[in-house]
Structure 1
Amino acid sequence: MRYQQSDPDVRLMLRVRDDDAGAFEELVRRYEPRLVRLMQTIGPSRELAEDLTQETFLRVYRARKRYEPGAKFSTWLFTIAGNVARNSARSVSRRQEVNEVDAPRNPAATSNAQLLAHTAMEASGLMPTRLAEGEERAEIVRMAVSSLSERQRMALMLSRFENMSYADIAKAMDLTPKAVKSLLSRARVNLKEVIQPYMESGTIPKEVQ
């Protein structure tokens, strides 16, 4: 009852449970761009991100009769999205993953990567003056984000773009809030280790040279 009263998306999902097609279309409209953005950061391919987003909504629809509002709708949805992303990662061979990394970048994925990388700089108190512009910056940022594990990327996305609390991220990722805090801390440290040498001295990691 608590979430039903406070979360309009929970109320929409309850209508979906009652086979209201319009309510489902409204949830898709509200969350599709956000899910695509999340999936692009985990595996930056627009086509794959859209496929995984559709799979997520398909699972939501199939689960509608079992839905119970035990959390905010977004937390429940991102839990399903995380499961879809992990299943996809397990089914893709290492060679396919390498090909994906080497594929041409799309602007949305690059933009997400830049914002995630900037999270590390905010934590350090340093301004990324050496990352002001250019292809070199894009490569440094791409490398910094690719250094993160899938779980670190997802946790940063949920924190940075969805403004989710440690508790909500923990529910979405099946972790404890303490584990989420540690995961985010390690992610920021990893980003900073790649970016800071370039900021301070112009040193470019070997992978970018």
Structure 2
Amino acid sequence: MEATDESVRLMLAFRDGDESAFDALFHRWAGPLLRYVERMVPDTGTAEELVQEAFLRVHGARDRYSPEARFSTWLYRIATNLALNELRRPRRKVRHESTFDDEGSPVDLRAEQPDVDDLVAARRAGSALEAGLEALPERQRVALLLSAVEGFSYAEVAGTLETTEKSVKALVHRARSALAARMKEEGS
């Protein structure tokens, strides 16, 4: 998952005042972190804001960084906490997005979609899995995403969730069992 020594080295260089090291960390980790946060927070714009906020917090906490933990564990803990806080907030109303055609009349962008049959066929399995993930309790979902999708070890997940490896194993097992049961129920 990570060139551990390289990310730690960059963070230590940044802590010592090398701003280009922060840029390198951002370029290395922004993409994977965004993919992770998007799985937790369904709105892409919100996920992007949370990733930016996570890096702002890394920037602000550079003096407190301790190289005992992997950089990725620290970064993902920050992002996980931000995402969980976002999920606990009351839902915001989603704006109806529109644009205007050549005559100045509003056009619903959501109405202009490719062939529905193709979309349904392509997304059926993915949608069932996403729905199953969303239905999981927060800690189970986070533990499963970090271990199965992001490739974190149970020790790293435990560090991110601030719990024990044994607890992480139980969370992942329960998450997999619940997902399997849901997929079987839906016939996927």
Provide TM-score, normalisation by structure 1: 0.70
Q: Give the structure 2 partner of residue 108 of structure 1.
A: none
Q: Give the structure 1 partner of residue 149 of structure 2.
A: 161
Q: Give the structure 1 partner of residue 5 of structure 2.
A: 7
Q: Give the structure 1 partner of residue 137 of structure 2.
A: 149
Structure 1 unaligned residues grouped into runs of 5+: 1-5, 101-132, 203-209
Cα distance in 2 for residues equivalent to 1:66 and 1:37:
26
Structure 2 unaligned residues grouped into runs of 5+: 95-120
Q: Does 1:46 align with 2:34?
A: no
1:121-177 Cα deviation digits (max 9, x unpaired): xxxxxxxxxxxx445434423321221122222111211232111111100111111
Instruction: Say whether the 8 Å CA contact 1:12–1:27 is kept in structure 2.
Output: yes
Q: Among 173, 177, 184, which residue is 1:189 paired with?
A: 177
Instruction: Say whether the 8 Å CA contact 1:41–1:153 is kept in structure 2.
Output: no
Larger radius of gyration: 2
Q: Give the structure 1 partner of residue 27 of structure 2.
A: 29
Provide TM-score, normalisation by structure 2: 0.78
Cα distance in 2 for residues equivalent to 1:29 and 1:135:
30
Q: Give the structure 2 partner of residue 57 of structure 1.
A: 55
Question: What letter corresponds to residue 197 of structure 1 in structure 2?
Answer: E
Deviation of 1:190 (Å): 0.9
Instruction: Say whether the 8 Å CA contact 1:38–1:154 is kept in structure 2.
Output: no
Residue 135 to residue 83, structure 1, CA distance change in 2 (3 Å): closer
Equivalent residue of 2:184, what SS?
Answer: helix
Deviation of 1:47 (Å): 0.3
Number of aligned positions between the proteins: 161
Cα distance in 2 for residues equivalent to 1:12 and 1:134:
40
Q: Could you say what the CA RMSD is over the residues aligned between the two structures, in angstroms? A: 2.2
Question: What letter corresponds to residue 163 of structure 1 in structure 2?
Answer: G
